[in-house]
Amino acid sequence: MIEGVLAKQKEFDSRNKLSRALPKQVQPKTIDAVLDYLEKSNKVMRDKKGAILWIFAEDSPKLMKLHKNSTILR
């Protein structure tokens, strides 16, 4: 649920704004645990000001084309 909201919205200015976008029954401890997991799995990024940004790129045709045409650095 939290991951889906983040993937759809792409960014939130704070954890509080994310909390307001979720159903009321989602507890703050749950939000923090899920955010920690998503950050460790490189799906979200948090900056020093507390903004949350969705950075996970799924296998989209645009991404696959970019990867295919990219130059390999050594």
CB 2 within 8 A of CB 26: yes
pLDDT of residue 65: 82
Residue 57 pLDDT greater than 90, yes or no:
no
pLDDT (tens digit per residue) in 15-51 = 899 999 999 999 999 999 999 999 999 899 998 998 9
52-54 and 44-46 strand pairing: antiparallel
Write down all domains in the chain, each with its CATH number in brackets. 2-69 (1.10.10)
Determine if residue 45 is left, alpha or beta; phi over 0 gives left, psi from -120 to 50 gives alpha, anything else beta.
beta
Q: pTM score, two decimals?
A: 0.73
